Structure 1
Amino acid sequence: MDLSEIGNRIARHFVDEDGHLSVEPLGEGLINDTFLVVAEPPGGGRFVLQRINRRVFPEPRLIMENLRVLLSHITERQAGTDAVRDLRFPEIRPTRAGLSFWVDDEGDFWRALSFIPDTRSQNTLQDSAQAEEVGYVLGRFHALTSDLDACLLHDTLPGFHIAPRYLARFDRVVANGVGASENAELRFALDFVNARRSVFAVLEEAKLPLRVIHGDPKLNNVLFDAQSGRAASLIDLDTVKPGLVHYDLGDCLRSCCNRSGEAADDSAKVTFDLDVCRAILRTYFAETGAFLTDIERYYLYDAIRLLPLELGLRFLTDHLEGDRYFKVEQPGQNLQRALVQFRLAESVEAQEKFIRNVIDERP
């Protein structure tokens, strides 16, 4: 039975009737298996079905608990404000039995979320107006959760974004001789990491305040309204947890300011777009200025430099270990992904003065 057939069988646990279902793969996620389900009436409609990757998320039930806490808080906050526009977030779709998830005979964990209609995602930004929308949606998310006690959320990914741990794992892999065969690209990647070892601990040593973070606010997790083009939602909430807003903002800029895309054919041409950075930060600071502290703001450049370096290290380590974590379509793909991130980090470093000036600009 192929994956779509499995998805079709599982999807029936989330609908009231036994009518026809259309189940198709959705998105380009590297972690979970995701499908768009279209159910014929009665009890029809569209929803998103996902099989949670238990190798990445060993306790999926905690993800659902976090999601319930988060959605309840955001719903209450948006109802109590006079914001010009609300963000839309997916709702949990229960099973026929009223459960928020389904565990199949293989022990795999499935959940269904409402589909947010009339929206689209994309992998590269089109213009500065779109960049401002990205800054708005991330800033609005942080503002809506700024008074949610981060301790109420489970840490579903212990160690996620803790860069010194990724470096320690990398060192163990290299010390064990895993993936020891080398080429020029691999040697460049290894040398790049070794030359920047001191960078990895900067945020952890700064003792910054823990807040509620999205955890993975890359560009294709922003949904834009299909008609107006304005940001409508921030999706893929599995990684919501206590953390530093620096992880989110650094990761967002890492994703958006690389106009070549994360799968760039020629990593040597990858650059960090300062105009996009300025546009995102302008609207982000407009939403977060009421609670973001001066010390948090001071370390934002370090985050912008660290996050591509961190992701590149994760891709490189996975390449050396035989592609166990990130899905690949051909051998060497995770090494190429690592090179893209390292070139982006290199471009950030070359523009440090300008980026710090942008951070210091007040909205």
Structure 2
Amino acid sequence: MTLEQDIAAAFDLGGRIVHVRPYGHGLINDTFVVSVDTGHRTILQRINRHVFPRPEQIMDNLRTLTDHIRRRQTGDKTAARELQLPRIFSTRDGKDSVVDAHGGFWRAMGFVENTYTLETIADASQAEEVGFALGRFHTLIHDLDPARLHETLPGFHNAPNYLLRFTEAAVRRRETPDNAELRHCLAFVETRRNLADALETPRREEKLPIRPIHGDTKLNNFLFDAESGRTVSLIDLDTVQPGLIHFDIGDCLRSCANPAGESPGNLAAIRFDLDICHALLKHYFSEARAFLTPYDHHYIYDGIRLIPFELGLRFLTDHLEGNHYFKTDWPGQNLYRALAQFALTSSIERNEARIRSLIKGLEA
């Protein structure tokens, strides 16, 4: 019996385990799908303790979040649609997790059946569905006291801290091969150092409130119903914690509004698609307008620009530090990822006036 099978057997999954297989292409956690003889499937994950040093806090947050959303959706009789959240499975002795002999932290979550994910947006209707789901999610949790949530990733989306770490890594680097791509990335960051404070400054000035956020709103975390094509769930909730909704909006558009996708084969194909941006934000606002403030609207462009820059900065720093955080399949992959995010940042900057005009037109 493999370790994964042994761990799966510790959870009460409602049937006899048929097989356990690797699942997905996540960069952080190790994920498996467990099938039981009743036909049901479950997601089994080993949480990366290097990234999440206190994984038990993730489970506390999930309980708090799912309970709050369940109460909100039960009490809201006017909502035409609900979001499904993955079920948390307990172990046979009533716990939320299993710790193996090597200290690995495991949890089991429900598999949302008859759904699919996307790697790129094909048309405006898909963008509308993503905008609806993110707006609905924020609406459901905006009144959850953020103090009730743990910071599962302290400093996550703290761009000034990422910039500081990058600066230290750039000074220390000794074994990273020098090339034109690396020099381009280093210069790109140097000319945009002030961008790191784009959201931190208004947060300190209390123009932007801290609220619960998802924290990782890339496109493939939205589940689409196999029959209707409508979004039914938002998954990968490990990064739910207090933050700015602009982090979620920016990350969502970073992922969705780049037709070249997360891992483009051709960097020249990367661009920020204004039509996708418009469709997504239109339906986001239709769901979330009731709680958004004028300052929320004002800083949306800044979030759209900041997040790809921030992610590129993180990829570049990891490249300089030896690829300790993001999984890589080949040498230089994190540098390539940084190049991709910086190319997207440049496209956003070239379209600043049009993006700001688009947002302004959707505010009413």
Q: TM-score, normalised by structure 2?
A: 0.96
From 21, 24, 40, the equivalent of 1:27 is: 24
Write the distance in 2 (CA, Å) between the matches of 1:32 and 1:128.
Answer: 31
Indicate the residue corresponding to 1:53 in structure 2: 48
Q: 1:308 to 1:17 in 2, by over 3 A?
A: closer
The percentage of counterpart residues that share the same residue type is 54
Deviation at 1:268, TM superposition (A): 2.4
Find 1:127's aligned residue among 123, 141, 166: 123
Q: 1:191 to 1:214 in 2, by over 3 A?
A: same
Q: Secondary structure at the match of 1:111?
A: strand
> After the TM superposition, which residues 181-192 of structure 1 pair with which residues of structure 2 at under 5 Å, given as runs?
181-192=177-188
Letter of the 1:132 partner, please give it: E
Q: Deviation of residue 15 (structure 1)?
A: 3.3
Structure 2: segments with no counterpart, 5+ residues:
none
Q: Find runs of 4+ consecutive structure 1 residues off by over 4 angstroms.
A: none
- Which of 71, 75, 98 is matched with 1:102 structurally? 98
In 2, Cα distance between equivalents of 1:45 and 1:267:
41
Task: Give the partner amino acid of 1:187.
Answer: R
Using the TM superposition, give the Cα deviation of residue 321 of structure 1 relative to its aligned residue in structure 2, in angstroms: 1.1
Q: Deviations over 1:181-226 (max 9, x none)?
A: 3101111111001110011111001121000100001000000000
Aligned counterparts of 1:18 and 1:146: Cα–Cα separation in 2: 37
Is the CA contact 1:8–1:21 (under 8 Å) kept in the aligned structure 2?
A: no
Q: 1:40 aligns with which of 37, 40, 45?
A: 37
How many residue pairs are counted as aligned between the two chains? 358
Identify the residue that residue 308 of structure 2 maps to in structure 1. 308
Q: Aligned partners of 2:202 and 2:278: how far apart in 1?
A: 24
Matching of residues 171-186 of structure 1 within 5 Å: 171-186=167-182
CA 1:204/1:39 → structure 2, altered by over 3 Å: closer, same or farther?
Answer: same
Give yes or no for contact 2:15–2:36 (8 Å, CA) kept in 1.
no
Aligned 8 A contact 1:308 1:344 in 2:
yes
The correspondence for 1:113, drawn from 109, 112, 121, is 109
Unaligned runs of 5+ residues in structure 1 are none
Residue type at the aligned position of 1:138: L
1:136 aligns to what? 132
Partners of 2:11 and 2:90 within 8 A in 1: yes
| Distance in structure 2 (CA, Å) of the matches to 1:147 and 1:161 | 21
CA drift of 1:45 comes to: 2.2
CA distance in 2, matches of 1:18, 1:46: 10
Aligned pairs for 1:214-225 within 5 A? 214-225=214-225
Cross-structure match for 1:246: 246
SS of the residue corresponding to residue 209 of structure 2 reads: coil
Give 1:180 deviation, angstroms: 4.3
1:203 aligns with 2:203: no
What TM-score, normalized to structure 1? 0.96
Shift of 1:8: 1.4
Contact 2:58 2:238 survives alignment (8 Å): yes
- TM-superposed deviation, 1:179: 4.3
- Corresponding residue for 1:231? 231
Q: State the alpha-carbon separation in 1 of the partners of residues 276 and 14 from structure 2.
A: 48
Question: How far, CA to CA, are the matches of 1:259 and 1:206 in structure 2?
Answer: 31
Contact 1:14 1:96 in 2 (8 A): yes
